[in-house]
Structure 1
Amino acid sequence: MSGNLGAGSLVILPTYDERETLPATIAGVREHLPGADILVIDDASPDGTGVLADAIAAESTGVAVQHRGGKLGLGTAYLQGFRHAIDHGYRFAIEMDSDGSHRPRDLPALLVAAEDGAGLAIGARWVPGGEIVGWPRYRRCISRTGTGVARVALRSQLHDLTSGFRVIDTAWLARLDLESIDSQGYGFQVETAWRLETMGCPIAEVPIVFVERAGGRSKMSSAIVLEALYGVLRWGWRLRFPRREPA
């Protein structure tokens, strides 16, 4: 594998209590995208994830850590990472979980799709070749239902709007109004993918194997699911009944 694979890319790893899984995630990224840089954004993890990230960064080139004062949410962490990628001239910003559910071995395929012209390459579970390992039936049902509702409400052609494993061309990120995005969790992923789709961004859905987290506890909650549902219904309403500007 070329040691330059991933050059010009920034892998953004938001963390909150991911001490058990972060080292393996970083090691996996370095193995499969050795040319990429890594930015860990830690929300003052009580388990010491931020301290561990600092220790890894001190011994590794291309790894940086940004610390935030509290648990500010996944969406704001990615927005911070997007701005960093744009400001520092990276060609691609990569979203990836730190808990082991996104396999680093799938990164090259996503990056190839982006290099071939996809402004957004989504690691998709609900396409031929995609797979989920270790999820109970109810979680599969929530994810499939959420994606189905979003596709209908937003008139989207995408099959996995909620996937958080993505490569995004920063030229397209720069065209988004990042300041107006305030969703978190599933809602953030749906909103950003849908906005890019409506802008005409070329999108590729690349099949991946999604694995239940390797350690720690899931951050998923009913509040996050309800926020995403509310956002999807609100955006769908505006899509069908746009506000008319006064003459």
Structure 2
Amino acid sequence: MFSKTNENIAGVPLFISVEISEKKTKYCLCIPIINEAERIINQLQRAQIAGIDKLTDIIICDGDSTDGSTEIERLKDLGVNTILIKKDVGKQGAQLRMGFWFAIQRGYEGVITIDGNNKDSIESVPLFIKKLEQGFDFVQGSRYLPGGKAINTPFIRNLAVKLIHAPLISITAKHRFTDSTNAFRCHSKKYLTHKNVQPFRNIFSSYELLAYLSVRASQLGLKVGEVPVTRAYPKTGSTPTKISFFKGNFNLIKILVNNLLGKYNP
């Protein structure tokens, strides 16, 4: 086990990497988190039971959590390969940029991403690996495909995905996607390193990168698709999300419009 701080690299946030193990697999699973507490612990336990830590190197992309959920020895016991700790500005987009950069530098052929709030069927990772092996460059996980499940999805959120988010993403991508808000997806190395993609830009601070990568692959004629997954919200209590109802959703609509207008294209 060793740790190091990345150098000042344009478009990549400053972060500390703690490599618990060396690279072991062809693909990696990047999980962005910030103070997910027991949700990420439960998710990693599910991943271990399903053998996901043997199929992919699990990389935690931490936004500098303070809740104790990222204690190194516990993560090691849960099958985590590496933890990246962001020491810079930015939210989810910045966490994903450091994860993608680390993955490319380490030589992975593809990167799978999933939220760290235990809502998604992490057991579905093999479906994404199969698609990467078949030459797909971007694959979106969808709860709305046959075989997928949307469990306890808030009514308003369900409508927003089906009537606003997915249609706008599909129009922008020139390819129909059924579930565009889900961060459970995969990206080939070819896609992430394509000269007309350039994900390592500071403009991708929050949710811009998710929206942009949803559409850019098909715009460039790369191979894209979807696989069925399950997304389950808790029956009771607060909804695990980092998007506030008013400001967060307003910013999300703004990002979708900018994406439609091509403002994130290099």
Q: Same fold (TM over 0.5)?
A: yes
Residue matched to 1:179: 200
Structure 1 residue 223: Cα displacement: 3.0
CA distance in 1, matches of 2:69, 2:90: 15
CA distance in 1, matches of 2:88, 2:234: 23
- For normalisation by structure 1, the TM-score amounts to 0.83
Per mean C-alpha deviation after superposition, the further-off stretch among 227-236 and 166-175 is: 227-236
Residue 150 (str. 1) matches residue 169 (str. 2):
yes
| Aligned pairs (5 A) from 1:1-247 | 7-30=25-48, 31-33=50-52, 34-50=54-70, 52=71, 54-59=72-77, 63-69=81-87, 72-144=90-162, 145-153=164-172, 155-175=174-194, 176-180=197-201, 182-183=203-204, 186-212=207-233, 217-221=240-244, 222-238=246-262
CA distance in 2, matches of 1:10, 1:133: 27
RMSD: 2.6
Structure 1 residue 46: Cα displacement: 2.9
Residue matched to 1:245: none
User: Judging changes above 3 Å, is the alpha-carbon distance between structure 1 residues 233 and 90 closer, same or farther for their aligned structure 2 residues?
Assistant: same
Q: Which runs of 5+ in 2 are unaligned?
A: 1-23
Structure 1 residue 183: Cα displacement: 3.9
Structure 1 residue 187: Cα displacement: 3.8
User: Percent identity among equivalent residues?
Assistant: 18
Deviations 1:172-210 (A, max 9, x none): 111121134634555432211211111111012001111
Query: Alignment length, in residue pairs?
Result: 233
CA distance in 2, matches of 1:112, 1:118: 9
Deviations 1:130-171 (A, max 9, x none): 221011211211222221233235544222222210121112
Is contact 2:131–2:139 with CA below 8 Å preserved after alignment?
A: yes
Q: Which runs of 5+ in 1 are unaligned?
A: 1-5, 243-247
CA distance in 1, matches of 2:166, 2:133: 26
CA distance in 2, matches of 1:119, 1:154: 14
Is contact 2:112–2:128 with CA below 8 Å preserved after alignment?
A: no
User: Judging changes above 3 Å, is the alpha-carbon distance between structure 1 residues 197 and 213 closer, same or farther for their aligned structure 2 residues?
Assistant: farther
Structure 1 residue 94: Cα displacement: 1.0
Q: Aligned partner of 1:170: which letter?
A: K
CA distance in 2, matches of 1:25, 1:71: 26
Q: Aligned partner of 2:61: which letter?
A: I
Q: Aligned partner of 2:256: which letter?
A: V
User: Judging changes above 3 Å, is the alpha-carbon distance between structure 1 residues 71 and 46 closer, same or farther for their aligned structure 2 residues?
Assistant: farther
- For normalisation by structure 2, the TM-score amounts to 0.77
CA distance in 2, matches of 1:75, 1:211: 23
CA distance in 1, matches of 2:262, 2:101: 27
Q: Residue 179 of structure 1: SS of its match in structure 2?
A: coil
